Amino acid sequence: MKLLLANPMFKGALGIPSFGLGFIGTYVKEHSDCEVEVVEQSMQGISTEALIEKALNVDYLGLICYTESRFEVFDLARRVKTANPSCLIMVGGAHVQTLDREILLHYPFIDYVVRMEGEETVLEIIQGRPLKEISGLTWRCGTDIVRNPDRPAIADINCLRYDYSLIRHQIADWKDYEIPVRMQGLNALPAIASRGCPYQCKFCASNRHWGHSYRYMTPENLVALIEGWIERYGTGYIRFYDALFVGNESRILSFCDLLEQRNIKISFRVDVRIGTSKNVLRRLREAGCEVLGFGIESGSDRILKRINKGITRAQIEETIGFCRDLGYWIIGFFMVSLPDETEEDILKTLELLKYFNEADVQFFKIHPNTAFYDELLAKGEITDQVWFDTTEEAELFYCRERFSSAQFTREEVNSFLSYAYNKISLCNPQKVIETYGALKGVALLTVAAASNMLLSGSWGRGLQRRIKNIGFVKSIYNRLSSRI
């Protein structure tokens, strides 16, 4: 029996593995005699035709589906079912959690939707357990679509393991390009040590997707894994992709103590919340953490409250200031065009960029199974059918052209984003020069400075948008002002 698990290539795919597939693949391998292969298509660099060829001789195909990849996922499923009609195709991931019935209605070539955690559900499918007895599964019974009860979250995730041999050749040269250039030569490994998030930000589906739970590995188990990674792969840097690494501060303090007691020398990066205690931040730094990521989202207290972030601007400035004093490389994550956001709110956000070594400023996009999506459904500005309409873009940008409640047009938001990324470069010229070399780096910084002189005011942003739409000027401007 053969199981192929795949993360299809899509526009904007991140260069990281989809951890869910690796955990599912490992779990099935350890609890059955099923042959398992995991394909991260964008990382592996194989064509869709080659991926379909791999699926010709498998019994099961499992596809992870993100909102941004949904069209590629469903098209791949259709093509595989045509080429291998006996293959049973299942989809899972955050995007399908509440759209399971609609997916089976729209796509007859998909056999199952796996909701929430997939390890036990996929194993039971492969073992042949009667479908009606498999929790967390949505399936067809004749012409009916059956939604079985939810599967309880796995209480102890220490029983789960990620077998990197499933994707080792795909991540052998993996790098985290947001960290200092001096660290990018370390042998790096992406990892995850917890599941879920206890917070309920209105733009995020994490809390709902994981069943409103937050679970984590014990410090002892995590440190033992790190020792194994160092011995097996020569790992020198770990990028933890946990939605919230510090969900339990006593656990983190024990983790730091164990690293020191065992004399484990490892650099690592984690994402933490604003307001994390100074003691934890200090101990993480002492134990080898060199890079911190913060989900800031906005610099406006009004918007932070609107999105239910649970932090304030004063807390942001205090926490970031303390981390700068500790010598961390600090990465901030922000969004622009949030619901009810004004130009004044956005400018407050952009003011914060100067405090960060690296930043990711995103155009706010709508995702299913979030509180903001529920608001738009209630207003009648969107329906579930939007996710199946192939005339829509893969990413649903929250802008005035699409949503009557949005405050800005798409071009207006893109002007703010151009300003933001120019400012990030100007605040961190050393990294620009180290990345691109002196000549190209100075040229890029010069263009960024000139561009931001124009973009710093609303009049200039409007002029920039008009200039960009003048024939040959548009081509030249885009080439010079784009962030390479």
The reply to whether CATH 3.20.20.70 applies to domain 175-364 is: yes
Tell me the pLDDT band of 465, cut-offs 50, 70 and 90. Answer: low
For residue 362, the tally of other CB atoms under 10 A from its CB is 15
Helix (H, G, I), strand (E, B) or coil at 76: helix
Mean pLDDT, range 42-50, rounded to an integer: 91
Say if CB 79 and CB 120 are below 8 A apart. Answer: no
The superfamily (CATH) of domain 2-147 is Cobalamin-binding domain (3.40.50.280)
Share above pLDDT 70 across residues of the chain, in percent, rounded to a whole number: 94
Mean pLDDT, range 214-227, rounded to an integer: 97
Q: Where, residue-wise, is CATH 3.20.20.70 in the chain?
A: 175-364
Mean pLDDT, range 134-145, rounded to an integer: 96
How far is the C-alpha of 168 from the C-alpha of 232, rounded, in Å?
11
Tell me the pLDDT band of 479, cut-offs 50, 70 and 90. Answer: low
What's the residue count for the chain?
484
In this predicted structure, the answer to whether residue 416 has a pLDDT above a threshold of 70 is yes
For position 14, what pLDDT does the model report? Answer: 72
H helices, E strands: number in the chain: 20, 15
How far is the C-alpha of 89 from the C-alpha of 239, rounded, in Å?
32
Locate 4 and state its tokens.
């192929």
For position 461, what pLDDT does the model report? Answer: 62
Mean pLDDT, range 127-156, rounded to an integer: 96
Tell me the pLDDT band of 468, cut-offs 50, 70 and 90. Answer: low
For position 250, what pLDDT does the model report? Answer: 96
Mean pLDDT, range 365-380, rounded to an integer: 97
Residue 96 DSSP symbol: G
The two most distant CA atoms of the chain are separated, in Å, by 66
How far is the C-alpha of 198 from the C-alpha of 206, rounded, in Å?
9
How far is the C-alpha of 207 from the C-alpha of 399, rounded, in Å?
25
Tell me the pLDDT band of 467, cut-offs 50, 70 and 90. Answer: low
Greater confidence, 438 or 483? 438
In this structure, of 10-24, 104-118, 301-315, 397-411, the range with the lowest mean pLDDT score is 10-24
How far is the C-alpha of 305 from the C-alpha of 265, rounded, in Å?
40
Mean pLDDT, range 471-475, rounded to an integer: 48
Tell me the pLDDT band of 447, cut-offs 50, 70 and 90. Answer: confident
Strand partners of residue 93: none
For position 484, what pLDDT does the model report? Answer: 39
10 Å CB burial of residue 322 (0-12, 13-18, 19+) is middle
Opening angle at CA 153, ends 151 and 154, nearest 5: 115
How far is the C-alpha of 84 from the C-alpha of 268, rounded, in Å?
43
Say if CB 350 and CB 420 are below 8 A apart. Answer: yes
For position 244, what pLDDT does the model report? Answer: 93
Tell me the pLDDT band of 481, cut-offs 50, 70 and 90. Answer: very low
In this structure, of 68-82, 254-268, 387-401, 441-455, the range with the lowest mean pLDDT score is 441-455
**Host H or E run for residue 277:** none
pLDDT by residue (tens digit) across 254-281?
999 999 999 999 999 999 999 999 999 9
How far is the C-alpha of 196 from the C-alpha of 215, rounded, in Å?
7
Opening angle at CA 174, ends 171 and 180, nearest 5: 160
Mean pLDDT, range 349-356, rounded to an integer: 96
In this predicted structure, the answer to whether residue 460 has a pLDDT above a threshold of 70 is no
In this predicted structure, the answer to whether residue 406 has a pLDDT above a threshold of 90 is yes
Strand partners of residue 359: 332
Distances (CA, A) of 252 to 230, 248, 259, 278, 283: 20, 7, 11, 13, 9
Opening angle at CA 155, ends 153 and 160, nearest 5: 95
For position 445, what pLDDT does the model report? Answer: 87
Mean pLDDT, range 450-463, rounded to an integer: 70
In this structure, of 11-20, 74-83, 448-457, the range with the lowest mean pLDDT score is 448-457
pTM over 0.85: yes
For position 458, what pLDDT does the model report? Answer: 67
Q: Which residue type does 143 have?
A: T
Mean pLDDT of the chain: 92
How far is the C-alpha of 206 from the C-alpha of 196, rounded, in Å?
6
For position 126, what pLDDT does the model report? Answer: 97
Locate 298 and state its tokens.
């906005």
Which residues contact residue 121 at a Cβ distance below 8 angstroms, ignoring those fewer than 6 apart? Answer: 114, 115, 134, 135, 136, 137, 151
Opening angle at CA 41, ends 390 and 101, nearest 5: 45
Share above pLDDT 90 across residues of the chain, in percent, rounded to a whole number: 80
Greater confidence, 401 or 481? 401
For position 441, what pLDDT does the model report? Answer: 87
Q: Where, residue-wise, is CATH 3.40.50.280 in the chain?
A: 2-147
Mean pLDDT, range 61-80, rounded to an integer: 97
For position 431, what pLDDT does the model report? Answer: 84
Say if CB 189 and CB 237 are below 8 A apart. Answer: yes
Written as one string, the DSSP assignment of 26-41 is: HHHHHHS--EEEEEEH
For position 478, what pLDDT does the model report? Answer: 52
In this predicted structure, the answer to whether residue 376 has a pLDDT above a threshold of 60 is yes
